[in-house]
Structure 1
Amino acid sequence: MNSRTFLRIMLLSGLAIPFASAAALPDTEKKKIESLISHLESLKGSKFNRNGKDYDPATAAKFLRGKWDANKDSILTAKDFIAKAATKSGTTGKPYLITLKAGGPQTPCADYLGERLKELEK
């Protein structure tokens, strides 16, 4: 192997390492995301509104886990999860809303989860 080939191999190997590690979701962020979803799932009596239709907490959690999985390559932090998976419909652009109790006000899901994330990070 000549020095030029060796240099190319070393250069390509060195470039691959940062990209491989950048694509991996850190365990701390994964735990935060799961905590956010589990928190929504535990909100008995709440409603998750997506595209004008209300869903129970278990259905909302299942949907958000699916959206997280579908966007896993671009979600590297809990903030990414909120921005890319839990803010709005990718189809209609309508914001996801959460109602914590019957007759209560609707809150943008991104705002609610953002506050919850701040609590988790304290």
Structure 2
Amino acid sequence: MVGSLQALDSPAKEEVDHLLEAVSKSEARFIRNGKEYSSAEGAEHLKNKLGQAGSRVKTAEDFIQGVCTKSYLSGKPYLMKNKDGTTTEVGPWLTKVLEEYRKGR
């Protein structure tokens, strides 16, 4: 995994780090293939998956689209289950997080 993050240019690495932190610190449950995980476990899964993606991930958008949207095995979208019980797809959620991060820089 470290190799993949090191391969990203500095702005992309900062953005991916921010996205992983956003997942980890969210108060939502991470849903993968119908099973719920803590937000920290979800972020760890995405980190591991990033490591497997290798050089295919060059930008934060590559990370969101290629790693964070769905399960490679089942094709089911990753979801975030909010405290109120509603769910949000992780890909669009992270796209909004990235947009806000870029506005703030």
**Range of TM-score over shorter length:** 0.7 to 0.9
Deviating above 6 A after TM superposition, structure 1's stretches of 4 or more consecutive aligned residues are: none
Match of 2:58 in 1: 76
Query: Are 1:117 and 2:98 matched, yes or no?
Result: yes
Letter matched to residue 42 of structure 1: K
TM, length-normalised to structure 1: 0.76
Give me the whole-angstrom Cα distance separating, in 2, the residues matched to 1:79 and 1:69: 16
Larger Rg: 1
Relative contact order: is structure 1 or structure 2 higher (C-alpha 8 Å, sep ≥ 6)? 2
Give me the whole-angstrom Cα distance separating, in 1, the residues matched to 2:91 and 2:53: 16
Q: How many pairs are equivalent?
A: 97
Letter matched to residue 12 of structure 2: E
Higher normalized helix content (fraction of residues): 2
Shift of 1:121: 1.1
Match of 2:37 in 1: 55
Match of 2:3 in 1: none
**Structure 1: runs of 5 or more not aligned:** 1-23
TM, length-normalised to structure 2: 0.88
Match of 2:14 in 1: 31
